[in-house]
Amino acid sequence: MKHIGLSLISIALIASLTGCNGDDGAQGIAGSNGTDGSTGKDGNAGLSSLVEQSALPMGDSKCFFGGIAITSGLDTNSDGNLSSSETTQSNVVCQLTPITANGVSLPYTALRNDLQNGSIEGSTFEIRNGGFGSDMVAHPSNKLQFYALTDRGPNATFTGDHGKGKKFPTPNYTPRIGLFELQKNGSIRKVKTILLKRPDGTPISGLPNTSSLGGTGETPYTVDGQPVLVDQTKAYHELDNPIKLDDYGLDGEGLVALSDGTFWVSDEYGPHIVHFDADGNELARINAFTHDERVTLHLPQEFSNRRANRGMEGLAVTPDEKTLVGVMQSTMYNPDKTVKSLNVTRIVAINLETQQVSQYLYSQEKEQNSNSGIVALSNTEFLVIERDGAFYQQTPEAMKRIYKIDLSNATDLEQVTENEVLTQHPELGLLISGNTIEQTVQQAGWNGLTTHGIQPVSKTLVLDLVQEISYPHDKLEGMWLIDSSRLAVINDDDFATWSTDGVLEQKYLDLGRTQVDENKLYLFENLQLDQ
């Protein structure tokens, strides 16, 4: 704490509050000889007024990027300091937010830059060792830091001799968590990287699981269109040198950071929800596969009917850190892909103490939209991302929104009382007259559920990013809840890698191929998230 000098901030305050000496005494009564009386004594000195300032650090609740706190009042005990009881006025002058509507880029390096850039003859492109956009979450104790998650690594849709799959230009890539810190000038520094590992400490890969543990038949291919094999130096053989798969492989999409330093990650392959220690070693696992010996706590079995590449896209934990809450990206293939074009998604809540599992429904604004992120506001209220897959510069009607949802009045599908119409199927979940939830919505709309008392979570719009900042990216996927009035978001840049008709190329935001997509953080302030 120090006294403030004459400055543009406080000169007006000082001018109006400066102390002064007492007035001169009254003139004496004239004597009988007509001369003036003696001069009276000076009055007592007036109280001093003080103005003090103190610096506010970055991360302050009133001024997130720091600023100055100014207090003023009368020094009633004349000790030269301004106590709280003497303070009559307080103000803050905040440092302006350096993050503009254009966002701020996350740092990255290059994984490789030697591949031809699609159809642009003679031009190569950069596969970026970024990709930290599958999810983001606040550091549990450092208000200026956040964690961000990659998915399985650079990949692009491709169909080869072994069927539909993905090209993996870096097939040995290890999915990872990055710790980042926001700087006072608005830039972002990467603090460290945590590679995800098996229980024995060996790194996992991003290669698909086997079909018995969630794999959907996606074949991994090299950049040259050859299958990724157990031994790449030898020819393919179904038994002796098969296609390389990884039952510990993750396509990570949801991230939780706990106060004990551990993490939970949800993915698109199983879906699996995996617990990792602070160094990235697997501790435990949750999925829907009852035969998986690694698992003691299971999801409802219908979650194994996830749509390929649209699994458990978001994961949150309640503020008391007792309950994990995951959201599926799109309508599950329950019982099969004939229900693909719907707007019904599922939310699962898992109490880690009691192991009770609850399940709720979410109604999307458009069919085949994506719920790609979730963060807890309370034990029942959450922020959820809902988006399409369009780029604003190519499709002005693109949708990127954040809704506030409440589970309080939604129906827990796991607790529905069975009767002649409503039954619980061990593999398909709640059925209505023999039809799955998805089939019921397909045939009768949401009224087909509400007539049986089944209600989705309530939702209210919090942010429309296209309307607010003309959000340019296709994949809004992560949220950093800073406090009740500030929220940061991040996009998945796919390692700046894309493909057209199976040909790898740079990922651009615009049709003119002038703006490379990259991981960017956007900050929104003056929100009212606790109302």
DSSP string, 457-495: -EEEEEEEHHHHH----S-EEEEEEEETTEEEEEE--GG
Q: Which residues pair with 483 in a beta bridge?
A: 486
Distance from C-alpha of 4 to C-alpha of 398, rounded to nearest angstrom: 51
**Structural contact between residues 26 and 40, judged by C-beta atoms closer than 8 angstroms:** yes
Distances from the Cα of 207 to the Cα of 158, 172, 261, 279, 314, angstroms = 14, 8, 27, 21, 20
**Structural contact between residues 523 and 183, judged by C-beta atoms closer than 8 angstroms:** no
Q: What is the pLDDT of residue 292?
A: 97
Q: Is the peptide bond before 169 cis (omega within 30 degrees of 0)?
A: no
* Domains in the chain: boundaries: 48-94, 104-410+456-524
> Which tens digits make up the pLDDT trace of 382-395?
999 999 999 999 99
Residues of the chain with pLDDT under 70: 1-37, 40-46
Q: What is the pLDDT of residue 119?
A: 86
Could you give the count of Cα atoms lying within 13 Å of 188 in the half-sphere of its Cβ?
A: 25
**Structural contact between residues 322 and 352, judged by C-beta atoms closer than 8 angstroms:** yes
DSSP symbols for 294-348: T-SEE--GGGGGPBTTBSEEEEEE-TTS-EEEEEESS---SSSGGG-S--EEEEE
Q: What is the pLDDT of residue 32?
A: 55
Q: What is the pLDDT of residue 2?
A: 34
Task: Write the CATH number of the domain with boundaries 104-410+456-524.
Answer: 2.120.10
**Structural contact between residues 285 and 213, judged by C-beta atoms closer than 8 angstroms:** no
- How much is the pTM? 0.90
Q: What is the pLDDT of residue 19?
A: 41
> Which tens digits make up the pLDDT trace of 265-316?
999 999 999 999 999 999 999 999 999 999 999 999 999 999 999 999 999 9
Greatest Cα pair distance in the chain: 134
Distance from C-alpha of 247 to C-alpha of 138, rounded to nearest angstrom: 29
- With tokens 């922020």, the residue in question is 383
Angle at 30 between CA 25 and CA 34, to 5 degrees: 140
Q: Is the peptide bond before 335 cis (omega within 30 degrees of 0)?
A: yes
